[in-house]
Amino acid sequence: MLRGLTVLLGCQLVGEVLVRLTALPVPGPVVGMVLLFGFLQLRRTPPDDPASGTLPSASGTLRAADVLLKHLQLFFVPAGVGVVVYLGVLRDDALPIAVALAGSWLAGLLVVGWTVALLGRRAASDDAPGSVS
């Protein structure tokens, strides 16, 4: 677990370093995610089986990741609480904010969902993906 957290923080640090070196317009943690994905793929970490580790360092990473992701929502709370500062603005511009937020959210969701479903059906009709029954 502790080793797993160290791996996650290490990937984030390398991500931050790469972002600074290359002036990539992406946040360090997203680059860290790509790096960790590559690392897990290269080591052929058994995906389903974090407990019985033949590769102790990688299985610890999986466990640490599972713990953090279980509580992913928690880490957004401090940013969301910032709403207290803007209650006045939100009241004054309630209509444009509410409609733009909901409308734009809905448009983004549907465009991506429909585009993938439409193009994916054509591209991979032989592959049987899991779907909602």
Site for another protein in 99-128 (CB under 8 A): 99-121, 123-124, 127
CB of 17 to another protein, least distance (A): 14
Q: How many CB atoms lie within 10 A of CB 11?
A: 22
Choosing from 2, 21, 23, 131, the residue that interacts with another protein (CB under 8 A) is 131
- The angle, 0 to 180 degrees and rounded to 10, between the axes of the packed helices 28-42 and 56-70 is 140
Q: Mapping DSSP to helix (H, G, I), strand (E, B) and coil, where does residue 88 land?
A: helix
By CB atoms closer than 10 A (0-12, 13-18, 19+), residue 21 is exposed
CA 22, distance to chain mean position in Å, is: 22
CB of 52 to another protein, least distance (A): 16
Choosing from 20, 54, 83, 91, the residue that interacts with another protein (CB under 8 A) is 83
Residues 6+ apart with CB under 8 A from 55: 43, 45, 46
CB of 23 to another protein, least distance (A): 12
CB of 15 to another protein, least distance (A): 7
- Which 14-43 positions form the footprint of another protein (CB under 8 A)? 15, 25-30, 32-37, 40-41
Size of the site for another protein (CB under 8 A): 81
